[in-house]
């Protein structure tokens, strides 16, 4: 079979016919390519949907929601400062910046404060005093680091054995204010922002909630309580009056304008044992025993009191509060905890 060969003139005519057709096809293909790229760039289905807003964050020592966009995880632990609570401590510094305060019975029928700082650090705190074994169960639930003047040898052995970290006099931030009129052992103060640098951690983490936080609406009805006197036995009674939406400590030693504004006053009746040694004045040192125990609790909030009970499984466990109706949640806010003897005088409530 013979192949037909096209003449040069016929080949030129065929080229003239096909050229416009091929050009049009290429133009359409080019337009189609641009259109596909534009559609792909303009409408990535997943990325154009609204992003999920971050979950709200809450401060662990108050239950209060942090401002939007603010992280509550810090690269330092909770700091607890042991502060004297006698007339020799006047004026106490830094209490107005505390998230929470725990008042503890010590020797001589006096009390001492464990002031918890996390969301805010004051410039100066004090007067700083020594630790007690009672502090182990108080600070362990949030793995706090304690800022202290020091402690007895027996106490240091137990504190260290329990894994509680502490920073004591002589470290960065401590100083003495000898202009104070009280005896020299009440002159120790601390620049907490400086001492906090010694407690920095490698990674930021949020401590566990110290209490089970809730809302005012979740609080049982309770009974009216606009005044309460909390006796520790002996010579000291802490007095509270509900005014301006807060409980005000009317016999506080805090510097004016630097007082702790308590949204809640939580009274824990606890067994008081003997720590096993004497202080320099010959007084038996009491120990507040909390681990594996239960007792009566009274929660004051909003001008009323709710009666219930507390329990604490171990030193590192939080306080669990309840009433006959079930779990008792503490309204979010600043809380002052009174650890009073379970066999002590009754509270005066009005």
Domain extent for 177: 79-349
| pLDDT of res. 7 | 41
Structural domain includes residue 36: no
Structure tokens at 91: 């004026």
Structural domain includes residue 23: no
What 3-state DSSP class applies to 133? Answer: coil
116, 144 Cβ separation under 8 angstroms: yes
| pLDDT of res. 263 | 98
| pLDDT of res. 49 | 53
Number of domains in the chain: 1
| pLDDT of res. 8 | 39
Structure tokens at 240: 């509270």
DSSP output for 59-126: -TTT-PBPPTT----BSS--EEEEEE-SGGGPSBBSGGG-SEEEEEE-GGG-EEEEEEESS---S-BB
**Full pLDDT tens readout for the chain, 350 residues:** 434 444 434 443 334 333 443 333 433 344 444 444 444 434 444 444 567 778 899 999 999 999 988 899 999 999 999 999 999 999 999 999 999 999 999 998 899 999 999 999 999 999 999 999 999 999 999 999 999 999 999 999 999 999 999 999 999 999 999 999 889 999 999 999 999 999 998 888 899 999 999 999 999 999 999 999 999 987 899 999 999 999 999 999 999 999 999 999 999 999 999 999 998 888 899 999 999 999 999 999 999 999 999 999 999 999 999 999 999 999 999 999 999 999 999 999 99
Helix residue ranges, H only, the chain: 8-42, 135-139, 153-161, 192-195
Structural domain includes residue 259: yes
Structural domain includes residue 244: yes
Task: Output the domain CATH number for residue 196.
Answer: 3.50.90.10
| pLDDT of res. 37 | 40
Structural domain includes residue 73: no
Structural domain includes residue 293: yes
């Amino acid at each position: 079979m013979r192949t037909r060969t096209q003449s040069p003139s016929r080949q030129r005519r065929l080229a003239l016919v096909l050229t416009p057709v091929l050009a049009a096809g290429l133009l359409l293909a080019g337009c189609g390519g641009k259109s596909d790229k534009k559609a792909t760039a303009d409408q990535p289905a997943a990325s154009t949907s609204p992003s999920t807003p971050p979950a709200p964050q809450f401060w662990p020592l108050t239950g209060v929601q942090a401002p939007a966009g603010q992280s509550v995880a810090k690269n330092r632990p909770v700091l607890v400062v042991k502060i004297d609570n006698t007339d020799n401590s006047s004026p106490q510094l830094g209490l107005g910046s505390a998230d929470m305060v725990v008042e503890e019975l010590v020797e001589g029928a006096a009390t001492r404060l464990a002031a918890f700082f996390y969301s805010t650090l004051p410039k100066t705190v004090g007067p700083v005093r020594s630790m007690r074994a009672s502090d182990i169960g108080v600070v362990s639930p949030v793995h706090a680091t304690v800022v202290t003047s020091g402690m007895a040898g027996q106490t240091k052995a137990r504190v260290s054995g329990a894994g509680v970290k502490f920073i004591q006099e002589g470290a960065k931030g401590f100083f003495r204010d000898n202009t104070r009129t009280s005896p020299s052992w009440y002159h120790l103060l601390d620049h907490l922002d400086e001492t906090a640098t010694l407690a920095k951690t490698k990674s930021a983490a949020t401590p566990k909630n110290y209490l089970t936080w809730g809302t005012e609406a979740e609080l049982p009805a309770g009974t009216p309580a606009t005044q309460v006197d909390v006796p520790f036995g002996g010579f000291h009674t802490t007095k509270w009056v509900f005014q301006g939406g807060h409980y005000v400590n009317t016999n506080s030693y805090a510097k004016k304008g630097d007082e702790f504004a308590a949204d809640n006053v939580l009274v824990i009746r606890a067994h008081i044992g003997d720590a096993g040694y004497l202080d320099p004045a010959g007084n038996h040192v009491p120990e507040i025993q909390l681990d594996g125990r239960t007792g009566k609790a009274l929660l004051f909030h909003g001008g009323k009191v709710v009666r219930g009970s507390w329990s604490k499984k171990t030193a590192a466990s939080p306080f669990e509060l309840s009433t006959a109706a079930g779990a008792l949640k503490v309204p979010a806010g600043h809380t002052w905890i009174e650890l009073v003897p379970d066999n002590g005088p009754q509270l005066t409530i009005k």
